[in-house]
Amino acid sequence: MALKSFIPNFVTLLNLFCGSIAVLFAVNNLFVAAAVFVFLGIFFDFFDGLLARKLNAQSDIGLQLDSLADMVTSGLVPGIVMFKLISLSVDSSAFITSSTEWNSLLHLGDFKLAPIALIGLLITLGSGYRLAKFNVDEEQQSYFKGLPTPANALLIMSLPLIMEFQNNDLINSIILNVWFLIPLTIVSCYILNAPVKLFALKFKDWSFKNNAIRYIFILLCIVLLVVLQFAAIPLIILLYILMSLFSK
């Protein structure tokens, strides 16, 4: 019995392990590798809850551990990536030459810090607050209030993947624009904690009648990913929000 109850927690620890590796890659500007481990962590995050329900091994420790793992994989890593992206956008902009402005670079040994890039870490703060609310909100069993942190992490991690693999000059110039990244950060923090009900991808049975919105969403996701590749991810997040709103 004890072993059965530990299986979901072990999977959660795999999520935390992947998130920790992703942090190491993200701080070294290895965004693609970081994204791979974030995706792996989210995969484990999906299956730990599924295993807990199937094995009837849900516990308070599992709930807390799940949020702690998500805080790293889906909270800290996207915050670091956004910090890095804003840093890159500022470093390549002409206005950093002004000597005493908020966006000027600080040199701390070999480390360059653009203070305005710290705004990117608001994603980490917003994720932490959202996870804390989730742990004390007993209503979020069949739906979510606000965008789940893994979905938000996918949104942020898609940006460097779009630049790396789709390599479109116009899209790259938009993504590496500080006036795009800062509003996106603010919107990200808001939708994480917005009082909006979003459907959960939790199947109590496999019937189409009870899961129509889930099956339609998954089908549309597959089509978008095939057609648009990584550029589909922001559209999928938007689609998820819109389908949730219209389903009400």
State residue 95's pLDDT score.
36
**Domain CATH code at residue 121:** 1.20.120
The Cβ of residue 107 has, within 10 Å, a number of other Cβ atoms equal to 8
Distance, CA of 206 to CA of 218 (rounded, Å): 13
Distance of CA 94 to the CA centre of its chain: 30
Alpha helix stretches (DSSP H) within 55-76: 60-70
Whole-number Cα distances in Å, 86 to 4, 120, 151, 206: 44, 7, 21, 43
Q: Are strands 106-108 and 111-113 parallel, antiparallel or unpaired?
A: antiparallel
Higher-confidence position of 155 and 64: 155
Hey, which of 54-68, 78-92, 129-143, 144-158 has the most confident mean pLDDT?
A: 144-158
Contact between 71 and 127 under an 8 Å Cβ cutoff? The reply is yes
State residue 125's pLDDT score.
98
State residue 115's pLDDT score.
87
Count the domains in the chain.
1
Higher-confidence position of 141 and 53: 53
pLDDT mean across residues, the chain: 87
* Confidence at 141, pLDDT banded by 50, 70, 90: low
Distance, CA of 42 to CA of 34 (rounded, Å): 12
**Which pLDDT tens digit goes with each residue over 46-103?**
887 777 677 776 777 878 888 999 999 999 999 999 999 999 998 754 333 344 455 5
Where would I find the beta strands (DSSP E) of the chain? 106-108, 111-113, 143-145, 197-199
Contact between 217 and 239 under an 8 Å Cβ cutoff? The reply is yes
Query: What is the residue type of 46?
Result: F
Query: Residue 188 is encoded by which pair of tokens?
Result: 């990200």
Range(s) of the domain holding residue 201: 2-247
Measured in degrees and rounded to the nearest 5, phi and psi for residue 129 equal -65, -40
Q: Is pTM beyond 0.75 here?
A: yes
Contact between 156 and 78 under an 8 Å Cβ cutoff? The reply is yes
* Confidence at 110, pLDDT banded by 50, 70, 90: low
**Which pLDDT tens digit goes with each residue over 33-45?**
999 999 999 999 9
